[in-house]
C-alpha cells in the first residue's frame, strides 16, 4: 500500500464508509465516498444502533467536539422479564451498551467528514453513484461507476480503495463470487414509542436497563434511545426489536417482505412501506403471544419496519496487495442480536491507522480483523439462540459470564 499518493475511494457511504472516511481524511488523504442511494432512501431504514467499544472510541477520537451523551444513552444491565413482569434474570453486560440511532451516528459522521479542516485532505460525498466493478493495475485500483448523466460509466482511480457497500456487496461478489449472506430464518420487527407512552411495567428502561422478554418462540428487546430532537428528558424514544421465526418458503415471509405498493424487498421493508394487512397480522400476533406491556408497546408504535436477518463471513479482507480492503458488512455481517455491527468497521478503521503508520503488517491486520469478525459472528448467533430459546449452544460461555469468572478468580 502506498502512502505517497494520498487519494482514497470509498465505495458505500453508510456507517463503515464514513468511519473510514473521517479517519483517512484526518491523516491528510483526499477521500471520495461514492454512495448508490439518495439520502431519503437511507433514512427510511434507520432505527436504533448500538456503539461497541471501538465505535465509541472512534467517535470520541475523531469527533472530539461531540459529547457522546448528546447522541446516545448508556445501559449496563440486561433484564429478562417474565410474562407477569417479574425478573427472571438480571446481568451486568460485559461492557456498557451505548444505544444511539443509525440516523444520528450517520449524520454526525457525515458532518464531520464534510467539515473543512485545515491540514486535512479534500473530501467528496457523491450520492446516486453505484460502483459496478474494480480493476487492479500496478499502482492503482480503478473503480467503475454508474449513475452519471447520459448513462456514462466513469472511472475513479486510487492507491487505496475501501469497499464498504454492505452485505450484498457488488465488489466482493466480483472478487469472491459465491460468498453470500444467508437468511437466518428470523425476521426483526422494529419500532418505537415516545418515552411519555412507555408502559409503567417497562419503566426500568429509565434506570438504564435493557429489557428482554421471550414469548411464543420469539423475543423482544427494548431500550431507550435519543429521539430526533436529542436525548433531553421528554424527547427520548423507547426503541424495540422483536425477533420472530419466519420460514423463507412460507406465504407469511413472502407477504411480509412485499410492501404496500407490491414491491418485494430482499432484506428491509422500510418505514412507511409496510402493508396494512401485514401490520394488522403482526398486531394480532402481538395480542396473542405478548403480555400486556409488550403488546401495548408494539401495537401503539408508529412507522414500524421489518428486516430479514442475514449473516455471513468472508475469509479475506485485503486484495490487490492491500490496495483494496473490504470493510464493515461487506467483509463480515453479524446477526444483530449483540448490536455489534458498527463495531467491526470502527475497529478496522482504527487498526488501518497502524498499517498506514507501518506499525502493523497487512497480514497481521487481516488476521486480527478475521479473528474479531468470526468471534463476534459466532457470539451474535449464540445470543440470538439464547433470546429465542433460553439456552446457549453447548459449551458456549457468554462474555458477561467470562468477565464474572475473571473477576472471581482475580
Indicate which single residue of 21, 52, 121, 166 sits in contact with ligand FAD (rule: CB under 6 A).
166
Taking the CA of residue 159 as centre, how many other CA atoms within 13 Å lie in the half-sphere pointing to its CB? 12
The values of phi and psi at residue 112, to 5°, are -65, -40
Indicate which single residue of 8, 9, 10, 15 sits in contact with ligand FAD (rule: CB under 6 A).
15
224 contributes a contact to ligand FAD by CB under 6 A: no
341 contributes a contact to ligand FAD by CB under 6 A: yes
Indicate which single residue of 37, 260, 285, 404 sits in contact with ligand FAD (rule: CB under 6 A).
37
Question: Please, which residue, 171 or 278, has the CB nearer to ligand FAD?
Answer: 171
Residues 124 and 17: beta-carbon distance below 8 Å: no
Q: Pairing relation of β-strands 160-163 and 324-326? A: parallel
Shortest separation between residue 82's beta carbon and ligand FAD, angstroms: 27
Place of cell 492507491: 159
366 contributes a contact to ligand FAD by CB under 6 A: no
What distance in Å separates the CA atoms of residue 346 and residue 338, rounded to the nearest whole number? 16
34 contributes a contact to ligand FAD by CB under 6 A: yes
239 contributes a contact to ligand FAD by CB under 6 A: no
Question: Please, which residue, 28 or 39, has the CB nearer to ligand FAD?
Answer: 39
Segment lying near ligand FAD (by CB under 6 A), choices 46-54, 75-83, 253-261, 382-390:
46-54
Indicate which single residue of 24, 46, 134, 158 sits in contact with ligand FAD (rule: CB under 6 A).
46
Shortest separation between residue 301's beta carbon and ligand FAD, angstroms: 14
Dihedral class, residue 28 (left if φ above 0, else alpha if ψ from -120 to 50, else beta): left
Instruction: Determine the 3-state secondary structure of 102 from DSSP.
Output: helix
164 contributes a contact to ligand FAD by CB under 6 A: yes
143 contributes a contact to ligand FAD by CB under 6 A: no
Question: Please, which residue, 83 or 144, has the CB nearer to ligand FAD?
Answer: 144
- Alpha-carbon separation of residue 115 from 23, 122, 123, 204, 283 (angstroms): 13, 10, 9, 39, 44
35 contributes a contact to ligand FAD by CB under 6 A: yes
Instruction: Give the distance, in angstroms, between the CA of residue 368 and the centroid of all CA atoms in the same chain.
Output: 20
Question: Please, which residue, 239 or 293, has the CB nearer to ligand FAD?
Answer: 239
45 contributes a contact to ligand FAD by CB under 6 A: yes
141 contributes a contact to ligand FAD by CB under 6 A: no
Segment lying near ligand FAD (by CB under 6 A), choices 9-17, 111-119, 202-210, 311-319:
9-17
329 contributes a contact to ligand FAD by CB under 6 A: yes
Report residue 261 as a C-alpha cell. Answer: 405498493
The interface mask with ligand FAD, positions 193-222, x = CB under 6 A, is ------------------------------
DSSP structure class, residue 153: P
186 contributes a contact to ligand FAD by CB under 6 A: no
Closest of 57, 59, 97, 60 to residue 76, by C-alpha: 97
387 contributes a contact to ligand FAD by CB under 6 A: no
The DSSP H or E segment spanning 310 is strand 302-313
Shortest separation between residue 174's beta carbon and ligand FAD, angstroms: 10
Indicate which single residue of 16, 24, 109, 332 sits in contact with ligand FAD (rule: CB under 6 A).
16
Q: What is the CA radius of gyration of the chain?
A: 21
Taking the CA of residue 348 as centre, how many other CA atoms within 13 Å lie in the half-sphere pointing to its CB? 30
Residues 337 and 389: beta-carbon distance below 8 Å: no
17 contributes a contact to ligand FAD by CB under 6 A: yes
Instruction: Give the distance, in angstroms, between the CA of residue 126 and the centroid of all CA atoms in the same chain.
Output: 21
62: CB partners within 8 A, 6+ apart? 22, 23, 26, 112
CB-neighbour burial class of residue 330 (10 A; exposed 0-12, middle 13-18, buried 19+):
buried
Q: Which of residues 291-320 bind ligand FAD (CB under 6 A)?
A: none
Residues 77 and 209: beta-carbon distance below 8 Å: yes
244 contributes a contact to ligand FAD by CB under 6 A: no
Indicate which single residue of 59, 131, 162, 382 sits in contact with ligand FAD (rule: CB under 6 A).
131
How far the first Cα of the chain sits from its last, in Å, is 43
Shortest separation between residue 166's beta carbon and ligand FAD, angstroms: 3
130 contributes a contact to ligand FAD by CB under 6 A: yes
What distance in Å separates the CA atoms of residue 136 and residue 65, rounded to the nearest whole number? 39
Number of chain residues interacting with ligand FAD (CB under 6 A): 31
Residues that bind ligand FAD (CB under 6 A): 11-17, 34-37, 42, 45-49, 102, 130-131, 164-166, 170, 328-330, 336, 341-342, 345
Amino acid at each position: 500500500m502506498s502512502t505517497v499518493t494520498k487519494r482514497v475511494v470509498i465505495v458505500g457511504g453508510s456507517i463503515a464508509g464514513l468511519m473510514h472516511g473521517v479517519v483517512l481524511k484526518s491523516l491528510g488523504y483526499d477521500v471520495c465516498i461514492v454512495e448508490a442511494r439518495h439520502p431519503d432512501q437511507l433514512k427510511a431504514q434507520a432505527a436504533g444502533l448500538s456503539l461497541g467499544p471501538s465505535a465509541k472510541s472512534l467517535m470520541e477520537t475523531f469527533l472530539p467536539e461531540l459529547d457522546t451523551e448528546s447522541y446516545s444513552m448508556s445501559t449496563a444491565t440486561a433484564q429478562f422479564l417474565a410474562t407477569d413482569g417479574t425478573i427472571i434474570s438480571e446481568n451486568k453486560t460485559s461492557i456498557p451498551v451505548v444505544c444511539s440511532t443509525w440516523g444520528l451516528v450517520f449524520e454526525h459522521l457525515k458532518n464531520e467528514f464534510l467539515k473543512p479542516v485545515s491540514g486535512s485532505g479534500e473530501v467528496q460525498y457523491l450520492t446516486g453513484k453505484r460502483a459496478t466493478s474494480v480493476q487492479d493495475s500496478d499502482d492503482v485500483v480503478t473503480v467503475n461507476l454508474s449513475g452519471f448523466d447520459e448513462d456514462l460509466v466513469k472511472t475513479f482511480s486510487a492507491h487505496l480503495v475501501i469497499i464498504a457497500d454492505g452485505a450484498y456487496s457488488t465488489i466482493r461478489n466480483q472478487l469472491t463470487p459465491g460468498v453470500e449472506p444467508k437468511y437466518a430464518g428470523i425476521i426483526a420487527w422494529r419500532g418505537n414509542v415516545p418515552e411519555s407512552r412507555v408502559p409503567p411495567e417497562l419503566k426500568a428502561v429509565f434506570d438504564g436497563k435493557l429489557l428482554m422478554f421471550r414469548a411464543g418462540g420469539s423475543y423482544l428487546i427494548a431500550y431507550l434511545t435519543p429521539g430526533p430532537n436529542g436525548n433531553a428528558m421528554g424527547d427520548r424514544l423507547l426503541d424495540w426489536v422483536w425477533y420472530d421465526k419466519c420460514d423463507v418458503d412460507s406465504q407469511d415471509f413472502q407477504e411480509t417482505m412485499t410492501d404496500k405498493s407490491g414491491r418485494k424487498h430482499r432484506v428491509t421493508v422500510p418505514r412507511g412501506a409496510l402493508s396494512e394487512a401485514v401490520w394488522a397480522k403482526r398486531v394480532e400476533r402481538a395480542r396473542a403471544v405478548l403480555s400486556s406491556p409488550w403488546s401495548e408497546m408494539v401495537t401503539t408504535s408508529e412507522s414500524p419496519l421489518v428486516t430479514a436477518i442475514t449473516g455471513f463471513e468472508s475469509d479475506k479482507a485485503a486484495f490487490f496487495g492491500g490496495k483494496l480492503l473490504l470493510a464493515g458488512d461487506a467483509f463480515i455481517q453479524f446477526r444483530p442480536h449483540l448490536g455489534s455491527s458498527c463495531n467491526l468497521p470502527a475497529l478496522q478503521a482504527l487498526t488501518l491507522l497502524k498499517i498506514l503508520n507501518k506499525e502493523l503488517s497487512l497480514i497481521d491486520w487481516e488476521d486480527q480483523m478475521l479473528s474479531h469478525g468470526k468471534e463476534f459472528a459466532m457470539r451474535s448467533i449464540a445470543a440470538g439462540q439464547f433470546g429465542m430459546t433460553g439456552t446457549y449452544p453447548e459449551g458456549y460461555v457468554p462474555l458477561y459470564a467470562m468477565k464474572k469468572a475473571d473477576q472471581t478468580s482475580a
